[in-house]
Amino acid sequence: MTEQIIIQTVQTIVEGLKDKPGALLPILHSVQNALSYVPPESVPTIAKALNLSRAEVHGVISFYHYFRDTPAGKHTVRVCRAESCLAMGGKTLESHVKTKLGIDYHETTADGKFSLEAVYCLGNCACSPAIQIDNDVYGRVTAESFNEILTEQSA
C-alpha cells in the first residue's frame, strides 16, 4: 500500500469522525480496521485534525496494546494468559509459540504470515491452555498440537 493511499484513507476517516466527542479512539480504531495498523505517518494528520500534539496521539497508540504501528501478519495468533491457562501449562506453551514463530508479543514474523498477541481470556477455561488463530479457538493445546495447527494454517 502506497503512502499516498494510506494518507488518503486516514484523511477520509479523520474527516468523518473528528467532530465526535472523544474522537481520538474512534479514529484510531477505524484507521486500524481499515489498514490493519496505525501507520506512524498518520499521526501528524490525526493530531492536527484534533488539535492535539503528535506526542499525545502517539502516547495513546503506544498505551493501548490493541493498536499496532506495523502491519499485522496474514494470521494473528493469540495466546491466552489468563489464570486457568497459565495453571494448565500456558507458560510452557507461550515459550514454545514464541520460539516456534521466532517473535515476541506484538511482533510479526519476517515473512508476514503471523502476528503474535497476548489475550487474557478466550472463554475456553475448561480446555486450557487455549490459543486463537484468526477466528478459530483451540483448547488443550500442546507444543505438538500447536505445530500441527501452524502447519495447517501455513498450507
- Mention the CATH class of domain 75-154: alpha beta
Distance CA 83, CA 118 (A): 13
Backbone φ and ψ of 122, nearest 5°: -105, 5
Return d(Cα 9, Cα 24) in angstroms, integer. Answer: 16
121-152 pLDDT per residue, tens: 999 999 999 999 999 999 999 999 999 999 99
> Which has more confidence, 85 or 1?
85
51 vs 1: CA distance, rounded Å? 27
Q: Where are the beta strands (DSSP E) in the chain?
A: 75-80, 107-108, 114-119, 131-133, 136-138
pTM, two decimals, is 0.79
Cell of 26: 474512534
> For residue 153, is pLDDT > 90?
no
Domain residue ranges in the chain: 3-63, 75-154
Q: Which numeric CATH code is attached to 3-63?
A: 1.10.10
